[in-house]
Structure 1
Amino acid sequence: MTKRNLKAEDLYQLKSVADPRLSSNGRDLVYVQTHISEEKDEYVSNLFYINVEDKNTPQQWTYGEHRNHSPRWSPAQDELAFVSNRSGKNQIFVMKASGGEAKQVTTCTNGASNPVWSPDGKKIAFNVSLAEDEAIETKDKKEEKKLVPLEVDKMKYKSDASGFWDGKYSQIAIVDLETGETNLITEGKVDYHLQGWSPDGKHLAVSADLSENLDFSFVSDVFLLELETKKLEKITTGSGYFGSVTWSPNGRYIGLIGHEREFENATLSKVWVYDTVQKELNCLTAESDLLIGDFAIGDFQQGAVTPGILWTEDNESFYFLASDHGNTAVYYGSLKGEMYPALLESQHVYGLTTGGALNRAVVAISKPTDPGELYLLDVPTGKLEALTSVNKSYKDEVKLADVEEIEFKAKDGWDLHGWMMKPANFEEGKKYPLILEIHGGPHAMYANTYFQEFQMLAAEGYAVLFINPRGSHGYGQKFVDAVRGDYGGRDYADLMEAVDYALETFDFIDENRLGVTGGSYGGFMTNWIVGHTNRFKAAVTQRSISNWISFYGVSDIGYYFNAWQIKSELEDVETMWKHSPLAYVGNVETPLLILHSEKDYRCPIEQAEQLFIALKHRKKETKFVRFPESNHELSRSGKPSLRIARLNYILNWFKEYIK
């Protein structure tokens, strides 16, 4: 059968499988499957079950056009807690593994999230958002919200994820499943994030920042909250960012992932273990350049969860995910200091669960030609067995382009790594246009994973070049830190030298038909590129930064991000302006499409407005597209129809200006 070419609208056909949870019996697996309802223009998530030993056909456990997610097995493995918005707000439900209707166990005023079972299976702890003196539960009818002024007295008053701060704090509550009684465990003007419940049932692990002036504090400490006394015991250093807390089965050890901000937000996350007997916190990867966690960039997966340290039944061994050289891998570790990959291939492992087993795991894997499926991993042999095939019919129908990894040296001797994606219908002897893609962050990582945007461009006859310039994750601490204070310097040179390398290496690239695009930091770099070279025939800048001076005051992270990344404060506007693409707008000759979301508080839309007006004022070729009711995450989790519109805007701009 002849396969057809991919198009942007194919997002409606794809399914995402994520957040696998294997029970401690090593047999029962539940996961979240998400698709897009084209009719409702919304995401729909439901829970599915597989017996990994029988490898039976997946069974659907929840139904309806809602978001059902965050499944968590009870200690006895006979019940499942999960979060659903079927009642209008996110609430926690419990269902029997043997079947039957799910029972709603929370009726919280502002919804509930993050369910954690008590060791005896009789209670569930969870997070809830509450204003001071606001009741955790309400039976009142919903009142129509009135427009009121927003009073602001702190700098951290908005967030790209949640919008303007509404006076609510994240608190922790516990619901008794037998009586239905719900009790608030924390209170005050502090955000508490639930991490776990100790095996003896006496403590909750929570993370919080208890600093007096939160506007100037950037830490997340882990505490043990004694349930009987409500006393908090801090187990981390007070100088860094820690989370992803897990307990060893015997309760003696607590695993954490975090760092002490030695390089601010460019610091590599590491594996830490706290000994509750010795009262000692130790970093097990202090001497390693390995980055703990999944930092791969993609534009498809929904609801992917990076687990913390997954302890095994021997109380000394554990598994975790790490980002390494364009891949995410499963690593084995132990209290003795052993650390080595248990699964390291050219792929993106975006989900991991073991159920506490030493030799078995379930992994979620994506590759450039595979949106993602679940696999059973036999750890001793490394053998993978497919458990799902949710995108098989799509892959059978659509021609997808594979990638070729490239490695080369920058002119200053640094090693650089990336990929070349040939056009999907590549023919030997034919010349093709090339699109350079630049990721955001900048502390993130392009990887061997599926990218709808890249596949769409390849389907339309474009080659796609993407690399990890210095500043990217996955290549060690020195590499990721190198961009700080040097935006538009060697990072820009890395990208231009990558284009040079591609032109020298691949004879099918037409050097006269080059395009460039990127989002966030990649948008900044796209703006920088068109102000410093005319080698590209067309450019698309997305959710970009154009002016660091105004970014300082309008971004939800601006006033400290500038100091961390540009290494400049407001008193030094000359440095901010020197690194601002807006300063070079008079040099721009490349037709530039500007894409931006109205409710982007990370890189606010005024960054795009300034750039557009400056270009139009100078009679440059440009167009400005504003996406309504969308934030910085439009390309990954935004309104489906707007995600598709965005893809088509990118494609059509390149088709118009790259002939």
Structure 2
Amino acid sequence: MLAACAAGALAQSGNPAPIKPLATHDPRLMDFYANATNTQAFYYSAIHTQAPSDVALSPDGATVAWTLGDDKSFALHLTLLAHPDMAAEKIVSPTDVGSCFNTSPVWSPDSKILAYTSTCTTENTAKSGDAQAQLFLYSVATGQSRQLTHLTGIFQAPVWAPDGKSLAFLFVKNATRQSSPLAPITPWSGVIGEDGIEVQRVYSVDTTTGQGAWLTPTTLHAYEFDFAPDSKHIAFTAATPPGDNNWWIAKLFTIATTENSVPQVAFDPNTTSTAMHGLQMAIPRFSPDGKRIAFIGGLMSDEGANGGDIWVVTPKNDDNTAQDITPDIDGSPSFEIWLTKNTLGLVENRRGHTLLTTYDADKQARIPGHVLDLGEVILGGFGLGGEAPLSVSHNGVLAFVKSGHETPAELWAGPGTALRQITHLNNPGAPHAHIESVEWTNEGFHVQGWLTYPSNYDPTKKYPVLVQVHGGPSSTVPTGWGRSLWSELGFFEFEPNPRGSFGQGEKFAAANRKDFGYGDLRDILSGLDAVEKQVPAIDSHREAITGWSYGGFMTMFAVTQTNRFKAAIAGAGISAWQSYYGENSIDQWMVPFFGKTVYDDPAVYAKSTAINFIHNVKTPTLILVGDRDGECPTPQSFEFWHALRAQGVKTQLIVYPNEGHLFENPDHLRDRSERVLQWLNKYMPAQ
């Protein structure tokens, strides 16, 4: 046995073998993905459209910068809003030769300089997206770019200091991987928890000399930051390393922008006596007068997936309190920006609609008449890095990328009362499938979701339904443009937003606490019953369920609670919360949802553990996972697969090499879709 264990450990430590290709390929799927060569191309081939991203509006409201890319390059465009019919008057790049990835534009406070990142640098001979990027400064007056930095590592989110003298950004020097739990983890070796920890800090560069300085210490992993109006301080959220694990317990700090300054705690959710106790923060923003800091605060399961209330802190009070200025809001703000010293503009998700609203921070109320319902759409593009969904100028001009079920992504801009479409990159044509919002009630909750009809739908025929459970759980089903593979292959798709989702306020988002797999599953099954009653063409005898991440857990747990599904596909799932707590790289995320650690309250974790109900399973279940997934590690999938095999349930486990929580290799993405299709064809065919 010892020899076998040692052999297994050695096998795991080497380079994993590639996935063995399937013997047959469905031509419909091959056509759908159009032979994409990388992740970006895979996405664009799937939606068959172009999507602008990285929108940055100049402070004077005259010019909007935006990017447009494919698998070979990302181009940075400048469009004068006074002449929007002149398509992209300028394309900014350090060179006219080669393929550059030019992204992350941000304007200087005087609108004269545009900073951006590019892989076409003096150091790089290869201009691929994997090359080391650097910061460049583009002069509007001269039309020329100059390279500002010569860094080694990964940086993101550049921000100008309000005085225009420097740029700051998040930076991991000599990074070996992206700072994100979604990125593939580095194989474990050395002293675990001590060796190889990479710390993301705020770094500032003088825009004249190019000289740099660290603004935050090595003892804190920084996640987000913002400059005070006087440029002498920054506010930032941070936690002790390792950064991937500790975002859920981050504090809000302020620190002077002089080197070697000492950070001061402005707000600590872990010790506050307010309703923010134990919750998470996102997007800290100084008010224009520098007296207050706003942030989104709420129960959040994933860094970057924002939702909650808008809270305001007065950092000089030293009383560790925060004020909720959006109490009882019926939506989920995902972005905020100060408009005046007393008012904030918000991007809200409310039951599948995106709203632009304005709140009075003093009155703690939405300003009447300042609500713009954009409909069933999402804001934001699909660039290479994170981006704000909305850009606002000093004179109230807005710019954003908008897409919906019926409209491809395009750039829009203008005052809130006179928004107009700026780009016309796509011929919208007819939607690829009919998608409608569906609503139902269950156990006192009003629940919303989406139903996608099969392509070429015929109401006289019967079609199977695929239930797709979103991840998170603090998330929501996006409403952007795109083709649906399963719709084109003859399936209905039901995508619910059960309790625990964003879109209906904090009470709804927190309604799954200590109840994973129970109330939320009842919401899903109740919704499935409702849509089957509403649409008789859905064949109630051909139902399947699938999901990724939390949706993978829900799939695993669902088949232990009901046998109504003919097939199940669990991606990156969680089968046993007790063992998961000790296996994953982000255990801090669970405490806000379960109330205590697994060591202090094992029973609450056992309650939602699928393995504990494994004798109930009859549903054939396909299991998929990446071998370097730190969020939902491979052993969780192994446990469920092993348990199903022991019970004689039809199952198959596929482990994809060198993949993290979100797959990056287009060959693996195609293979994954093909295996899912084959599983459905075998146990619940569309025809």
TM bin, normalised by shorter chain, reads 0.7 to 0.9
Determine if the alignment matches structure 1 residue 244 to structure 2 residue 270.
no
Hey, what's the Cα distance between the residues in 1 that align with 2:516 and 2:63? 49
Hey, what's the Cα distance between the residues in 2 that align with 1:549 and 1:279? 38
Deviations 1:68-127 (A, max 9, x none): 322110122121112234443232222223565532211223243332223343322233
Residue aligning to 2:311: 272
Determine if the alignment matches structure 1 residue 106 to structure 2 residue 146.
no
Counterpart selection for 2:211 from 167, 181, 192: 181
Deviation for aligned residue 1:328: 2.8
Counterpart selection for 1:289 from 324, 329, 333: 329
Would the aligned equivalents of 1:16 and 1:35 in 2 still touch at CA under 8 Å?
A: no
Moved more, 208-217 or 550-559: 208-217
Deviations 1:48-84 (A, max 9, x none): 2211221121243237544332211012212111223
- Percentage identity across paired residues of the two chains: 24
Deviation for aligned residue 1:46: 2.8
Residue aligning to 2:366: 339
> Residue 36 of structure 1 aligns to a residue in which SS?
coil
Residue aligning to 2:379: 349
Determine if the alignment matches structure 1 residue 642 to structure 2 residue 642.
no
Would the aligned equivalents of 2:641 and 2:651 in 1 still touch at CA under 8 Å?
A: yes
Taking a change above 3 Å as real, the CA distance of residues 271 and 602 of structure 1, as seen in their structure-2 partners, is same
Residue aligning to 2:265: 234
Hey, what's the Cα distance between the residues in 2 that align with 1:252 and 1:474? 31
Determine if the alignment matches structure 1 residue 463 to structure 2 residue 502.
no
- Scaled by the length of structure 2, the TM-score of the pair is 0.79
> Residue 615 of structure 2 aligns to a residue in which SS?
helix
Would the aligned equivalents of 2:216 and 2:263 in 1 still touch at CA under 8 Å?
A: no
Taking a change above 3 Å as real, the CA distance of residues 622 and 326 of structure 1, as seen in their structure-2 partners, is same
Matched residue count: 600
Counterpart selection for 2:199 from 169, 172, 186: 169
Residue aligning to 1:124: 167
Hey, what's the Cα distance between the residues in 1 that align with 2:522 and 2:281? 34
Residue aligning to 1:297: none
Hey, what's the Cα distance between the residues in 2 that align with 1:588 and 1:402? 34
Residue aligning to 2:62: 27
Counterpart selection for 2:399 from 337, 342, 362: 362
Would the aligned equivalents of 1:72 and 1:82 in 2 still touch at CA under 8 Å?
A: yes
Hey, what's the Cα distance between the residues in 2 that align with 1:263 and 1:554? 17
Counterpart selection for 1:378 from 415, 418, 430: 415
Residue aligning to 1:441: 472
> Residue 673 of structure 2 aligns to a residue in which SS?
helix
Hey, what's the Cα distance between the residues in 2 that align with 1:216 and 1:191? 9
Hey, what's the Cα distance between the residues in 2 that align with 1:489 and 1:48? 49
Moved more, 232-241 or 503-512: 232-241
Residue aligning to 1:151: 191
Q: Residue type matched to 2:105 in 1? A: P
Deviation for aligned residue 1:130: 4.1
Hey, what's the Cα distance between the residues in 2 that align with 1:578 and 1:71? 48
> Residue 189 of structure 1 aligns to a residue in which SS?
coil
> Residue 561 of structure 2 aligns to a residue in which SS?
coil
Would the aligned equivalents of 2:148 and 2:210 in 1 still touch at CA under 8 Å?
A: yes
Deviations 1:428-470 (A, max 9, x none): 3111111111111111112433355xx1111111111111111
Deviations 1:374-428 (A, max 9, x none): 212431x3x4321123333xx44x8511212111121x23212112111121123
Hey, what's the Cα distance between the residues in 2 that align with 1:426 and 1:215? 47
Would the aligned equivalents of 2:214 and 2:259 in 1 still touch at CA under 8 Å?
A: no
Determine if the alignment matches structure 1 residue 115 to structure 2 residue 145.
no
After the TM superposition, which parts of structure 1 deviate over 4 Å for at least 4 consecutive aligned residues? 98-101, 146-149, 210-217, 260-268, 274-282, 571-575
Determine if the alignment matches structure 1 residue 81 to structure 2 residue 110.
no
Hey, what's the Cα distance between the residues in 1 that align with 2:111 and 2:70? 27
Deviations 1:482-538 (A, max 9, x none): 211112212111111111112211111111221111111111111122222222222
Taking a change above 3 Å as real, the CA distance of residues 347 and 179 of structure 1, as seen in their structure-2 partners, is closer
Hey, what's the Cα distance between the residues in 2 that align with 1:531 and 1:199? 55
Hey, what's the Cα distance between the residues in 2 that align with 1:428 and 1:649? 29
Hey, what's the Cα distance between the residues in 2 that align with 1:428 and 1:467? 22
Please tell me the root mean square deviation across aligned C-alpha atoms, in Å.
3.4
Determine if the alignment matches structure 1 residue 540 to structure 2 residue 566.
no
Would the aligned equivalents of 2:492 and 2:538 in 1 still touch at CA under 8 Å?
A: yes
Deviation for aligned residue 1:373: 1.8
Deviation for aligned residue 1:601: 0.6
Hey, what's the Cα distance between the residues in 2 that align with 1:263 and 1:119? 32
> Residue 199 of structure 2 aligns to a residue in which SS?
strand
> Residue 7 of structure 1 aligns to a residue in which SS?
helix
Taking a change above 3 Å as real, the CA distance of residues 14 and 656 of structure 1, as seen in their structure-2 partners, is farther
Taking a change above 3 Å as real, the CA distance of residues 598 and 355 of structure 1, as seen in their structure-2 partners, is same
Determine if the alignment matches structure 1 residue 17 to structure 2 residue 52.
yes
Hey, what's the Cα distance between the residues in 2 that align with 1:478 and 1:509? 32
Residue aligning to 1:157: none
Residue aligning to 1:301: none
Deviation for aligned residue 1:600: 0.9
Deviations 1:168-226 (A, max 9, x none): 32223322232232233333322235623333332233332369999798132131425
Hey, what's the Cα distance between the residues in 1 that align with 2:538 and 2:681? 16
Deviation for aligned residue 1:654: 1.7
Taking a change above 3 Å as real, the CA distance of residues 119 and 289 of structure 1, as seen in their structure-2 partners, is closer
> Residue 433 of structure 2 aligns to a residue in which SS?
coil
Deviation for aligned residue 1:476: 2.2
Moved more, 417-426 or 61-70: 61-70
Q: Residue type matched to 1:246 in 2? A: R
- After TM superposition, the structure 1 = structure 2 runs for residues 237-636 of structure 1, keeping only pairs within 5 Å, are 237=268, 239=270, 241-249=280-288, 251-259=289-297, 269-274=308-313, 283-294=323-334, 307-309=335-337, 311-312=338-339, 314-337=340-363, 338-340=365-367, 342-344=371-373, 345-350=375-380, 351-358=389-396, 360-379=397-416, 381=417, 383-392=418-427, 395-396=428-429, 400-410=432-442, 412-450=443-481, 452=483, 455-558=484-587, 561=590, 564-565=593-594, 569-570=598-599, 572-634=601-663
Deviation for aligned residue 1:363: 2.3
Would the aligned equivalents of 1:222 and 1:243 in 2 still touch at CA under 8 Å?
A: no
Would the aligned equivalents of 1:255 and 1:271 in 2 still touch at CA under 8 Å?
A: no
Residue aligning to 1:162: none
Would the aligned equivalents of 1:330 and 1:349 in 2 still touch at CA under 8 Å?
A: no
Hey, what's the Cα distance between the residues in 1 that align with 2:643 and 2:314? 58
> Residue 475 of structure 2 aligns to a residue in which SS?
coil
Deviation for aligned residue 1:605: 1.0
Would the aligned equivalents of 1:290 and 1:323 in 2 still touch at CA under 8 Å?
A: no
Deviation for aligned residue 1:615: 2.0
Hey, what's the Cα distance between the residues in 1 that align with 2:236 and 2:603? 43
Hey, what's the Cα distance between the residues in 1 that align with 2:462 and 2:645? 33
Q: Residue type matched to 2:192 in 1? A: V
Deviations 1:620-655 (A, max 9, x none): 222222222221122xxx233333332333233222
Residue aligning to 2:276: none
Deviation for aligned residue 1:264: 12
Would the aligned equivalents of 1:131 and 1:167 in 2 still touch at CA under 8 Å?
A: no
Would the aligned equivalents of 2:255 and 2:264 in 1 still touch at CA under 8 Å?
A: yes
> Residue 479 of structure 1 aligns to a residue in which SS?
helix
Taking a change above 3 Å as real, the CA distance of residues 273 and 623 of structure 1, as seen in their structure-2 partners, is same
Residue aligning to 2:11: none
What stretches of structure 1 of length at least 5 have no aligned partner? Answer: 38-43, 133-145, 155-164, 295-306
